[in-house]
Amino acid sequence: MIRPMRPVVVAANWKMNTTPADAGELARTIASRTRVQGVTRVICPPFVCLAAVRDALAESDPSVGVGAQDVHHMLAGAYTGDISAPMLEGLADWVIVGHSERRRDHDETDERIGQKLVRAVEAGLRPILCVGEQLADRDAGRAVDIADAQLGGCLAGHDPGRLAEAGLVIAYEPVWAIGTGRNALGADAAAMAEAIRATLAGLGWGAAAGEVPVLYGGSVTAANIGEFLAEPSIDGALVGGASLKPDEMAGIVGRAGLTAAARLSAVS
């Protein structure tokens, strides 16, 4: 039996950048510059820009997915400033959960992130779950232990079959390589991707663990993406600052297209 080929995914996380006035045009420009066969593209703007990006992509390139940067763990309630999964209906089809900046700035625990996963899946949103270690953990040789603990905490009690059906994507974020000037190596990311799939297998995913896309997310640029996508265990990228620059996105998605074509050729 031929196992399904993992998709190649490039997700743009715009973080707290753009406004409704300029987000649509930026999304259109990026979409037009990144029409590459075989690459799943997703743009994740701020909440206030979701409608503008959705409308712009519906007109220019509906094949580009729209993602939210977070979702609340409750369906409704007295949570001033938060956004629930039902509120995202019609605005997004993807969502990022557990990003390192949410963990750092909002004290999000693995248990809470796991609750967000529940809401995302219930709402039909395709989740991108982020995991990754701090510099002290990397230097202490605890990178795999941290990812293992985060996955175990976030996925505890979840039905692997349901998450697999929902199209779970995992983004490995080495926090120490984000905006610090210290870069991860392709081999580092590949080893972590394999460790992540081994953890999933240990959590009851079985053979499906090998089919979960693992993205790299640590100061990704057009200049360094090739090193990561040269690794067979890496399936794309979660792009931060570079995702606001059409030239950078064109280079990143273009390189991702080479990986997608090579994989297709290998199974043909």
Which tens digit of pLDDT belongs to each residue from 151-184? Answer: 999 999 999 999 999 999 999 999 988 877 777 8
Whole-number pLDDT of residue 182: 77
Q: CA 261, CA 32: separation in Å to the nearest integer?
A: 20
- Quick check: is 17 in a domain? no
Whole-number pLDDT of residue 4: 61
| DSSP bridge pairs for 257 | none
Q: Where in the sequence numbering do the catalytic residues fall?
A: 99, 173
Q: CA 218, CA 206: separation in Å to the nearest integer?
A: 28
Q: State the Cα torsion 150-155-160-166 to the nearest 10°.
A: -100
Q: CA 265, CA 268: separation in Å to the nearest integer?
A: 5
Residues listed for the chain: 268
Whole-number pLDDT of residue 1: 31
- Quick check: is 19 in a domain? no
- Quick check: is 195 in a domain? yes
The DSSP code for 84 is -
> What is the CB neighbour count within 10 angstroms for residue 141?
8
How many domains does the chain contain in total?
Answer: 1
Q: What pLDDT tens digit does each residue of the chain (268 aa) get?
A: 335 689 999 999 999 999 999 999 999 999 999 999 999 999 999 999 999 999 999 999 999 999 999 999 999 999 999 999 999 999 999 999 999 999 999 999 999 999 999 999 999 999 999 999 998 999 999 999 999 999 999 999 999 999 999 999 999 999 988 877 777 899 999 999 999 999 999 999 999 999 999 999 988 999 999 999 999 999 999 999 999 999 999 999 999 999 999 999 888 6
- Quick check: is 82 in a domain? yes
Nearest to 11 by CA among 263, 256, 264: 256
- Specify the 3-state DSSP secondary structure of 68: strand
- Specify the 3-state DSSP secondary structure of 175: helix
Distance of CA 35 to the CA centre of its chain: 19
- Quick check: is 221 in a domain? yes
- Quick check: is 99 in a domain? yes
- Quick check: is 252 in a domain? no
Whole-number pLDDT of residue 91: 98
Question: What domain range includes position 132?
Answer: 70-247
The strand ranges marked E within 117-167 are 126-131
Our CA angle for 174, 179, 181, nearest 5°, is: 90
- Quick check: is 174 in a domain? yes
- Segment holding 127, helix H or strand E: strand 126-131
CB 219 within 8 A of CB 200: no
Whole-number pLDDT of residue 2: 39
CATH number at residue 82: 3.20.20.70
